[in-house]
Chains A and B, each alone.
Chain A
């Protein structure tokens, strides 16, 4: 298996633009998580899905953030409009049981 695949690896965008981050989980994993990592706040859970259904989105910071999982093999995290304070590394992770997550390599987002 290729692992959890995230794209793009780096994204630089201007304030006010829409940003879409993509994630392909490991086949057979029924949980998918989006985390954000910053120096100030560490690793924060934004939202997670179970069997493609959003279970907990209480970590999504504002209405500017939205996430979807249209099928078991694809998820997106969208920020619209983006702001400089959204600059961070965004991780997608998937899991099957309580064995622990497999993380993607993350997307480093820079909003200028």
Chain B
């Protein structure tokens, strides 16, 4: 079974600064999808960004971008110009066959003012 590893249980960033959250995954597939989800204290799971493995171009959504390294099986999330509202738990997820998502353990992001 595929696994997703987030090696940083917790990260801190100063407001307006940039932070990168790490994620690695294990798969033997060549075509798949990767996601980052945000879970604020309200517990709502919010899709932040999506990457298709066959696309070499890194996905970008406003202040959020990814660094996708397919050979290294790495999928990091960069948050630029961090805001207080970015404070949350962030989950990396890999899509298995059948549209199932396998989630990492999550990284708590704290934003300091």
Residues of A within 8 A of B45 (CB): 91, 93, 101, 103, 106
CA distance A50 to B97 in the complex (A): 13
Surface stretch bound by A, among B15-23, B70-78, B99-107: B99-107
Q: Is A42 an interface residue (CB 8 A)?
A: yes
Q: How many chain-A residues does the 8 Å CB contact rule pick out? A: 22
B contact residues, total (Cβ < 8 Å): 20
Interface centre among A42, A48, A95, A100 (most CB of B within 10 A): A100
* Contact assessment for A105 and B44 in the assembled complex, using a CB-CB cutoff below 8 Å: yes
Q: Does A112 contact B (CB under 8 A)?
A: no
**A64 to B15 alpha-carbon distance, docked (Å):** 47
- Contacting residues, chain A, for B42 (C-beta < 8 A): 105
Interface of A is mostly: strand
How far apart are A32's CB and chain B's nearest CB, in angstroms?
Answer: 10
Query: Does A55 make an interface contact (CB < 8 A)?
Result: yes
With contact pairs A42-B105, A42-B106, A43-B91 given, residues A98 and B99 touching in the complex (Cβ less than 8 Å) = yes
Binary interface profile of A, 76-112, with partner B (CB < 8 Å = 1, else 0)?
0000000000000101010100111111011010000
Q: Is the CB of A100 within 8 A of B44?
A: no
